[in-house]
Structure 1
Amino acid sequence: MATTALPVTMSAVRRARVTQEARLDVWADQLCTAAAQFPGFVGSDVHRRHTRRTHEVRVTLVFASATEAAAWESSSIRGELTAAGDALTEELSIALAPQQPVAGRARTALVVWTGLVPFALLLNALGEHLLEHLPVVPRTMVSTMILVPLAVYIGIPAVQRSLARWHARRPLR
């Protein structure tokens, strides 16, 4: 079976020193132009964020594979541009850590449903006679005002804890 290389996205945020805002914008464009000359370059994006006190630039570069991204990262032109960018920017006091992958929608729906059903069954079994005299809309509002907090604060966290324990016991493949 042939394996396909996955694209690699790299992103960096720079905050301009005072009076260097325009030069930082030019630098970001130069960085994207230089990266575009490398094999495997897929695309780039520059997002500028201005506030009263700061001017930040987020540069995102996409390469077709990790090998091509590594070639860009180890290139002399990237090193020169990075040094030039350092002269225009102040250090950010935050580290941009990689994020955990987001659970799929089907898994999320299943977790929510599993955390909600026990409370819905209890409400219908034990409290139906208390609500049956209400019209449909008020009855639905009352039942959801009871069910949603129970599911959100008790049911869904319990399901997530159970899944975490189950995943921890599974052997690695």
Structure 2
Amino acid sequence: MSRALPVTVFVSRTARGPGGAALTRWAHDLCRDAAGFPGHLGAHVGTRVVDGTVTVHIGVSFAGAEALLRWERSGTRARRLAEGDELTRGEPVALPLAEFGLVAAASGRPAPSRLRSAVLIWAALFPPAALVNAVLMPHLDAWPGLVRTLLLTLLLVPTVVFGTLPLLQRALARRGR
């Protein structure tokens, strides 16, 4: 089993003149080409228009550095990048992960640690789980365990995701934590 960590490359290209539609098509073609390579995990194309200038943001993910290098060293990619040079001005710009909403940079703070996330989720899950176990589960003793578990998760997951977790996060944000 491979221990390689997935890798993602993000770049930004700005359209030369009014070529925003062509640049966006080119970015999608680039991502489609990358998808044909072994180890490809996914791709993303986003556009931003500011004062009539179109900037295309591209993210491409591979299963590991070796797979990414195969793509980066390929003739397919080189030809596609040459096409993109005709449509863009300036050099490609590497983007921070925050451009794609992958880190909590908008708040100026790093993403929470796994330990903090685990404690927060537990704190949001415990009260409704205790309530359901105390009120509902004694009446369902005759039900098969799998059906009780299904009912429990059907009740708890939406309650936590849409109820207690957001409440807890807002309360912590007000306290500056």
Which residue number corresponds to residue 75 of structure 1?
A: 74
Deviations 1:84-109 (A, max 9, x none): 1111111159664789x7562657xx
Which residue number corresponds to residue 167 of structure 2?
A: none
- Alpha-carbon distance between aligned partners in 2 of 1:53 and 1:19, rounded to the nearest angstrom: 8
Which residue number corresponds to residue 56 of structure 2?
A: 57
Matched, 1:48 2:47: yes
Q: How far is 1:52 from its partner?
A: 2.1
Matched, 1:104 2:103: no
TM-score of the superposed pair, with normalisation by structure 2: 0.53
Q: CA RMSD of the aligned region, Å?
A: 3.0
For the 8 Å contact 2:13–2:92, the answer to whether it is kept is no
In the alignment, residue 46 of structure 1 is paired with which amino acid? V
TM-score of the superposed pair, with normalisation by structure 1: 0.54
Matched, 1:20 2:29: no
| Runs of 5+ consecutive residues of structure 2 not aligned to the other structure | 99-109, 117-174
In the alignment, residue 49 of structure 1 is paired with which amino acid? R
Task: Report the identity percentage.
Answer: 38
SS in 2 for 1:91: strand
Aligned CA distance change for structure 1 residues 96 and 59 (closer, same or farther; 3 Å)? closer
SS in 1 for 2:86: helix
The runs of at least 4 aligned residues of structure 1 exceeding 4 Å deviation read 92-99
Which residue number corresponds to residue 5 of structure 1?
A: 4
- Alpha-carbon distance between aligned partners in 1 of 2:82 and 2:97, rounded to the nearest angstrom: 24
In the alignment, residue 68 of structure 2 is paired with which amino acid? A
| Runs of 5+ consecutive residues of structure 1 not aligned to the other structure | 108-147, 153-173
- Alpha-carbon distance between aligned partners in 2 of 1:12 and 1:95, rounded to the nearest angstrom: 4
Matched, 1:35 2:37: no
Aligned CA distance change for structure 1 residues 73 and 63 (closer, same or farther; 3 Å)? same
In the alignment, residue 104 of structure 1 is paired with which amino acid? S
Rg (Cα) greater in structure: 1
In the alignment, residue 3 of structure 2 is paired with which amino acid? T
- Give the paired residue count: 112
SS in 1 for 2:4: coil
